[in-house]
Amino acid sequence: MTGLTDRFGRVHNYLRISVTDRCNLRCLYCMPEEGVAFADTSTLLSYDQIVEVVEAGAELGISRLRITGGEPLVRPGLADLISRLSNIPGIEDIALTTNALLLAPQAEALRAAGLSRVNISLDTLESSRFRMIARRGELKKVLQGIEAAAAAGFAPIKLNCVLLKGINEDEIASFLKLAYEQPLHVRFIEYMPIGHADENWKKHYLPLSRVHEIAAEQGYNVIPGDAISGNGPSENWTLVGGKGSFGLIHPISDQFCSQCNRLRLTADGFIKPCLYWMDELDVRPALGDRSRLLELYSRAMDLKPESHEMAAKLADESQSHEPTSRRMSQIGG
DSSP states along 159-189: EEEEE-TTTTGGGHHHHHHHHHHSS-EEEEE
- Cβ–Cβ under 8 Å, residues 187 and 160: yes
Give the type of residue at 194: I
pLDDT band at 114 (very low <50, low <70, confident <90, very high): very high
Instruction: Kindly state the helix (H) or strand (E) to which residue 236 belongs, with its residue range.
Output: strand 235-239
Separation of alpha carbons 294 and 299, rounded Å: 9
Task: Give the closest residue to 188 by CA, choosing from 253, 102, 258, 132.
Answer: 253
Contacting residues for 33 by C-beta, under 8 A, at least 6 apart: 26, 135
Q: What is the pLDDT of residues 50-96, one digit of tens each?
A: 999 999 999 999 999 999 999 999 999 999 999 999 999 999 999 99
- Cβ–Cβ under 8 Å, residues 313 and 323: yes
Backbone phi and psi for residue 253, each to the nearest 5 degrees, phi listed first = -75, -25
For 15, other C-beta atoms within 10 Å of its C-beta total: 25
pLDDT band at 305 (very low <50, low <70, confident <90, very high): confident
> Domain spanning 14-331 has what CATH number?
3.20.20.70
Task: Give the closest residue to 146 by CA, choosing from 120, 170, 165, 168.
Answer: 120
1: pLDDT strictly greater than 50: no
pTM across the whole model = 0.90
b/e code 287-302 from CB counts within 10 Å (16+ = b): beeeeebbebbeebbe
Query: Domain segments of the chain: what residues?
Result: 14-331
pLDDT band at 34 (very low <50, low <70, confident <90, very high): confident
Pairing of strands 262-265, 270-272: antiparallel
Q: Which residue has the higher pLDDT, 114 or 198?
A: 114
CA atoms within 13 A on the CB side of 150: 12
- Cβ–Cβ under 8 Å, residues 314 and 249: no
Task: Give the closest residue to 207 by CA, choosing from 315, 306, 99.
Answer: 315
Q: Which residue has the higher pLDDT, 201 or 312?
A: 201
Please report the pLDDT score of residue 202 as a whole number: 80
Starting at the edge strand found earlier in the chain, the sheet holding 157-163 runs 222-224, 235-239, 245-249, 185-190, 157-163, 117-121, 93-98, 64-68, 14-18, 262-265, 270-272, 281-282
Residues 232, 234, 237, 239, CA torsion sign: negative
Q: What is the mean pLDDT of residues 184-199?
A: 78
Please report the pLDDT score of residue 279 as a whole number: 83
